[in-house]
Structure formats: structure tokens, C-alpha cells
Chains A and B, each alone.
Chain A
Amino acid sequence: MASILTTVGIIYVLVSETLIAIPPNEAFFQLVSPKQFFTDTRWTPQFSDRHFGILPLVCGTFLVAGIAALIGLPIGLAGSIYLSEYAAPRTRKVVKPILEILAGIPTVVFGYFALVFVTPYALRPIATGLFGLDVQVFNAASAGIVVGIMIIPIVSSLSEDALRAVPQALREAAYALGSSKYHVSTRVVVPAALSGILASFLLAISRAVGETMAVAIAAGQTPALTLNPLRSVETMTAYIVNVSFSDKPHQSLDFKALFAVAMTLFAITLVMNILSHLVMRRYRESYQ
């Protein structure tokens, strides 16, 4: 089955380059110890003093994904509550296509938007103008903001499905007890739909983690173990892209490092996707 082949292919490729040696190929982890890979805090494959600690890349990825989650999850959820509980059918017919269009915009466009508009016209005026903070041209915040916007449609549409699946009888019972729409929505409907909402969150974060182009454009190419969103960082995905440009020989360590990073990325997103499905299944079972 083609789909199985694909997965097998992915796993095989990643594993063969990183874990298991197939002579005459040497695997990455034979040349660089896993301990160093996961705990070293410097990622400098190109320097003469080579370090292969993936932490800066992971940190960059999660800094961007974290900002994206901070923006995308609440807005997506609030939007879905509006669509499910408050909006008239006519309004839904207008807003939903808009969100679908938003979801269809290629990520390079968002990267462009982050670099050309968000940093100079939004971040700099606020951070530097108001707070006197230094904002680099490439920074994690602008990437995080646009990735957050990108994941709004995911959260919105899946959470809305979850909310609408809550039986109307539950809402009626709550109204009959003399509660306002606000209470019904927040204290009855949202808690009842929680697993579906959580599943959508996980899926959205997974998407943010795997996002490549917007961060490659806007976040930068300097790996840094930092929590400062106004600095440039490099994410795992951006690293892979940047390395692909250079035509490194197949056997070189730099090249193999690429696979190691890719495998880490694959593992992280796989875990999140599986979690999301488990949570989703629990949500389907919660109504008798």
C-alpha cells in the first residue's frame, strides 16, 4: 500500500542515516554521540570547533511555536465559540470561507509578511519605540506572530466542530436554570467539548512546529539558545532548508546532521499527532 510505503520510506531514510549503519555508509549517531546531540548547547557544524547539540534548534522551534500558540490558540478558540454559539447562519456563511482562504495562503507569503511588515511596522514601533528594546531584523517574534495567524483556521474549524457536537439539550437545560448565554457557553458547552478542543490545539501546535518557510524567512539563521523573541533564532526546519542549499557531499557529517535534525522533528510531530488522535477518540466516546 502506497501510504505504508511512504511511511516506511520516511522512517527508513531517517533511521538509516542516523541510527543504523549500512556499510559503507556511516550513521550519524556513530560519529556523534546521542548524548552530545541532545544535550550540547551549541550547534556549530560549520565552524572549525564543531558542536552538534540540537538544543538551540529545538529551542528556536519551540520559541516560535510557543508564540504562535499564544496567539493562534486563544483567537482560534474565541472565534470558534462565536461561530458556534453566537453567530447567525448568515454570518457563518461569510466567516467560514474567509478562514478557508486564510488557510490556503502559501507560507512564503506569510514569511514575506513577517519580514516586510510585521517587524518594521508592528514590532519595532512597539518594542523599540515604546520599550526601548532592540529588535533584530530577523526575529522569532515576527515569525511566531504569522505562524500564529496561520494556525487560527485549524483551531477554529476543529473546535467549532467540537462545540457544535454538544447536544442542544444540554444548552436548553442550562438556559432553563436561568443562566445567561455567556454562562451557557463558557460553563457548559466549552467544558463539554473540551477533548475536541484540546485535540485541535495539539494539531495546531504540531503544525506550528513543522512550519518551515515563514520561519526560514523571518526568524533567521543563527541558532541561539535564547528565550528572547526579539532576536534571530534558527528552527529545526529552517536549518534543514538552509543546509539543503549547500551542495554538501553525501558522506559528510554536515549532511548527516540534516537527517538527525529531521528525525527529531519527525518524532516530535509524530508524537503530537498521535496524542491529538487519542484525545480526539476520547471525545467521540464521551457522549453515550
Chain B
Amino acid sequence: MSAAAPAPGIGLVRTQPSARPGLVGQTFAGVCAISAWLGLGVLIVLLVGVLWQGAGWLSWSFMTHYDSRHPEQAGVLAGLWGSLWLVFLATIFAVPIGMGAGIFLEEYEKKGWLRTLIEINLSNLAGVPSIVYGILGMAVFVKMFGAFQGRPKVLEIGFASAHLEIPLPFGRTLLSGGLTLGLLILPMVIVVTREALRAVPASLRQASYALGATHWQTIRHQLLPAAIPGIITGVILSVSRAIGETAPLLVVGAAVYLANAPGGIESPVDVIKHPGGALEAPFDTFTALPVLIFNWISRPEKEYRHVAAAAILVLLGLLQVFNIAASVIRARMQHKARW
């Protein structure tokens, strides 16, 4: 029935002393609230579960030993170093290219069909499943399109006292993995660079031009420095996403059982003791933290579940370190750059 015409003398419709929205409305609001808070519930269950399963197995020796056929002796050392190396390689590959591309896209000519193509391309790439990146990496870096089929070469480069032996094709090495991950985070780095540049106030730009600076000078001396905090934060976040990636690494050929760290470097001290190891490392076989986790989960022995849980804790811890680093850098630099 339609809204009632006011009966004379009654005035307004007055409900019960505590006027409440209808039952449907309340239930709806409740369902929505629960849905929003569900994420917290899941996180708590997840954390509690992993802690319960793995906390007992977490120890310093866990972090400093390699995998083993005996669950009690298994450790994440190979995976830990592998992940760190991968992140390092991915960053030195993706950041310069990504920043360059980001600057180009944001600062230079914005018209034309090529431009539109690039834009569409970029947004599609962000949605490609990571495993496809793995396949690309495998074909390009590991096998190099089969160009060296059956006849692998070794490229020797020597400078100073260092001696580099680069296998061609790259094969199932750290380098292939690092470059693949680099490709994976490249779209993110580009986006982050662009947004950081966009966030720089126009007034800064105009002031620079007004003082007679060229476009490039403005970019180099004003815009980039202003955008760097945002870029760094974004890069750290993309890297933390890369740390958790497993599928592309598996396709590229990460080893699941590995008893050595890349280049033989097992602790930060080793870098100084055997610098040659650092040069060999990229061409070594490799593994990564999430790969180890995957493998341990897949093993039939129940004890490996605990090992996997402990490794998950290490992984989550590593991620937290990165996130905190990102927040700290962002806070610090925002403090400095006040415009």
C-alpha cells in the first residue's frame, strides 16, 4: 500500500520508544560488517595455525642448515639465500628499466597509437598469471629459444682479477630466475614510478621551468628526487610480492632439493671472504624459500608439515621486514621532503 495520508490529529507515525531500522536492514548491515571483518578472522586463524604447527621447529639452526632427508635436520639456508639473491637480481634488472619506462611514459609525448598500445599493453601485463611469466622466462632465459640446443657455450669475461663464466643459454640458474622475476615486477615498477611522478605538485615543476631549466633538467633535479620516496616504497612492495612467487621459479627450474647456497656464500661474512663466489652465484643452481615450502608440503612424511610451517614463518617474517622497511623509508622521506 502507498504511504498513508496523514490522519488528522494523529500527527506523525510514532514507532516504539526505541526506533530501530527494520529487521532486514539490520541483518544486512550485520552481514556486511562480518564480511569486512572476515579478513581479520582468516588472518588470525592462519597465523595461529602456522604458529601451532611450526613454531616448535623454528630455531637458529633451522635458518642455517640445508634441506635434509631427515626432517629434524632440514633447514632453509639454501632457500633463504636463494630468495635474497633473486630479489637482488630482479631489482637491479627491473628498477632501472622500469623507472626509465615510467619517466618516459609520464613525461614525454603522450599521443599517438603507439602510446595507446603501450598503455593497453601495460594494464594487460599486470593481469597475466605469474606462471605465464615463468614460461616466458623459461623459453627466453633458460633455453633461449633453443638456440644453443645441445651445444651450450660458455662466455668468458675477465676484468681485473674477476673472471666471469656465463653459460649460454643461461639454463636453470639464479640469473634466469632473477630475470624472470624482474620481468614479473617490471609492470609494477613502471606504474609506481608514474604515480610517484604524478604526485609531485605542479608548482614544483612550474617553478623549475620558470627558472629556465629544460625538461630533462627539471626531471633530474626536481621531479625525480621528489618522487624517489614513493618509488622506493613501491619497489619494496613489488619486491615483497616477488618474494612470495613460486610458480614462475618452478617453471624456470628452481631445484627442490638443494644442499648448497648460490656461489657457496652461506653467510654475509662469506661475501668478503670469497668475493669470487659472489660472481659465480648468478650462474649457480638455485632454490627459493617458497619453493622449499612447496616441496616440504608435498612430501608424504607428516613431520615435513612442521618444517614447512616453520619455513612459512620465516617467509612471513621476511615479508614483514620488507613492509616495515617500506613504511620507515616512506615516513622518513616524507618528513624530509615537505613542500
A residues sitting closer than 8 Å to B (CB atoms) are: 1-4, 6-7, 9-10, 13-14, 16-17, 25, 74-83, 85-87, 95, 98-99, 101-102, 104-109, 111-113, 115-117, 149, 152-153, 156, 178, 180-183, 185-186, 203, 206-207, 209-213, 216-217, 237, 240-241, 244-245, 250, 258-259, 262, 265-266, 269-270, 272-274, 276-277
Contacts and interface: CB of A to CB of B under 8 A. Distances in A.
Chain B, interface residues (CB within 8 Å), range: 35 or more
Interface of B: 3, 21-22, 24-25, 28-29, 31-40, 42-43, 45-46, 49-50, 53, 97-98, 101, 117-118, 120-125, 127-136, 138-140, 143, 145-146, 149, 183, 186-187, 190, 240-241, 243-247, 250-251, 253, 256, 290, 293-294, 297-298, 305, 308-309, 312, 315-316, 319, 323
A81 B120 CA distance: 30
B29 to A, nearest CB: 6
A210 B294 CA distance: 18
Given A217-B298, A241-B247, 16 more contacts: A3-B118, A13-B140, A78-B35, A86-B29, A95-B36, A102-B43, A111-B297, A116-B305, A149-B42, A156-B36, A182-B25, A212-B246, A237-B131, A244-B138, A244-B250, A265-B129
B113 to A, nearest CB: 13
Closest 10 CB pairs of A and B: A210-B129, A106-B244, A182-B25, A82-B32, A78-B35, A212-B247, A79-B36, A273-B127, A79-B35, A82-B36
A102 B39 CA distance: 7
Contact of B31 (A78, A113, A250): A78
A259 B143 CA distance: 14
Contacts of B124: 7, 270, 273-274
Contacts of A9: 136, 139-140
B251 A116 contact: no
Given A99-B39, A106-B290, A112-B312, A180 B244 contact: no
Interface of B, helix, strand, loop or mixed by DSSP: helix
Contacts of B312: 108-109, 112
20 contacts: A2-B98, A2-B101, A10-B132, A82-B33, A82-B36, A86-B29, A98-B43, A108-B315, A112-B308, A113-B46, A116-B297, A117-B45, A180-B21, A182-B22, A182-B24, A182-B25, A216-B247, A269-B129, A273-B123, A273-B127
B25 to A, nearest CB: 3
A250 B250 CA distance: 17
A181 B26 CA distance: 10
B125 A6 contact: yes
Contact of A210 (B43, B130, B241, B323): B130
Contact of B293 (A4, A25, A112): A112
B191 to A, nearest CB: 10
A82 B38 CA distance: 12
Contacts of A273: 123-124, 127
A75 B293 CA distance: 29
A277 B126 CA distance: 12
B250 A241 contact: yes
A266 B42 CA distance: 30
Contact of A98 (B40, B101, B135, B308): B40
Nearest to B119: A3
A13 B186 CA distance: 19
Contacts of A79: 32, 35-36, 38-39
B258 to A, nearest CB: 14
